[in-house]
Amino acid sequence: MAQSIPAPAQSVILPFDTANDMILVHVRINGGEYLMLLDTGAQHTIVGQLNQNKGKNRSKDTNAGLLLNASGIKATIEFKGMPIIKTHILEANLEDFGKRFGDARVNGILGQDLLSLFSYVRIDYKAHQIEMVKL
């Protein structure tokens, strides 16, 4: 009996920066460039508001974390070298979010809903790279 050959793995190596020991990656969402915080403890991916929604649903800092008014959006997500991912994510006003991490350019969080689409995610701190693999 012939065995089927598994499809080749799709992988991408993403360079990352750090700010206050937080991992920051560049991601393209719905055609816009975003600097996102990689947060393996976050359940959801959240992006700062797209141009048409700027100024709505202001976020609020609390002692326990960030309290958000967010809405779900359809998103086309692109990582360097990885085929496009179409999914749903949250959109919120994250106007001052990056200041909490020492980099005002940070405009979103990569959470478990997106990371779980990959078979594994490996972080190489010395090389400042993240390997994301879909089997």
Does the pTM of the predicted model rise above 0.85? no
Q: Per-residue pLDDT tens for 109-126?
A: 999 999 998 999 999 999
Residue 44 in tokens: 């959801």
- Chain mean pLDDT for the chain: 80
What the block records as the tokens of 40 is 């393996």
Confidence bin at 90 (pLDDT 50/70/90):
confident
Beta-strand pair 10-15/60-62? unpaired
Scanning the structure block, which residue is given the tokens 């990569």?
110
pLDDT band at 49 (very low <50, low <70, confident <90, very high): confident
115, containing H or E segment: helix 112-115
Q: DSSP secondary-structure letter at 84?
A: -
Mean pLDDT of all residues in 37-52? 83
